[in-house]
């Protein structure tokens, strides 16, 4: 079992609200990632970090932002949620060359 945790697991909010999806790992991994996944579609990388104070945008353009102030914590924030942000967001971390561990995901619904 991977020690990577996401909260909340499910979130339903109204348009215009600010939300933060939390992701924490206790494995001491330097590399962390956020992916977006829609039903029947492939995962798309939206943000990644190779260490504290290091964040980069991924392949899929996203209006979300991330921060990496502590090694174990990689939160994702949407300043003003819209229905187009409805999706599943998966956090992942990697400590070795090949390993990639995923959290359980946060399913966001914006009304």
Q: How many residues bind other proteins (CB under 8 A)?
A: 22
Among 21, 103, 108, 110, binds other proteins (CB under 8 A): 103
Q: Which residue, 12 or 100, has its beta carbon nearer to other proteins?
A: 100
Residue pair 101/2 in contact by the 8 Å Cβ criterion: yes
DSSP bridge partners of 73: 24, 70
DSSP bridge partners of 23: 6
Q: Terminus-to-terminus CA distance in the chain, angstroms? A: 34
Q: Work out how close the CB of 70 gets to other proteins at its nearest, in angstroms, rounded to a whole number.
A: 21
Q: Work out how close the CB of 16 gets to other proteins at its nearest, in angstroms, rounded to a whole number.
A: 27
Among 51, 54, 80, 104, binds other proteins (CB under 8 A): 104
DSSP bridge partners of 45: 35
Please list, in sequence order, all residues whose beta carbon lies within 8 angstroms of the beta carbon of residue 69, skipping any fewer than 6 positions away.
52, 53
Q: Work out how close the CB of 49 gets to other proteins at its nearest, in angstroms, rounded to a whole number.
A: 12
Among 11, 13, 27, 43, binds other proteins (CB under 8 A): 43
Segment contacting other proteins by CB under 8 A, of 11-19, 60-68, 78-86, 89-97: 89-97
């Amino acid at each position: 079992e991977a020690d990577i945790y996401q909260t909340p697991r499910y979130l339903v909010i109204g348009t215009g609200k600010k939300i933060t999806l939390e992701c924490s790992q206790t494995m001491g991994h330097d590399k962390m990632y956020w992916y977006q996944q829609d039903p029947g579609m492939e995962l798309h990388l939206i943000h990644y970090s190779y260490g504290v104070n290091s964040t980069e945008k991924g392949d899929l353009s996203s209006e979300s932002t991330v921060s990496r102030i502590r090694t174990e914590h990689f939160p994702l924030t949407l300043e003003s949620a819209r229905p187009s942000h409805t999706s599943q967001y998966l956090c992942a971390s990697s400590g070795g060359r090949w390993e990639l561990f995923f959290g359980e995901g946060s399913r966001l619904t914006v009304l």
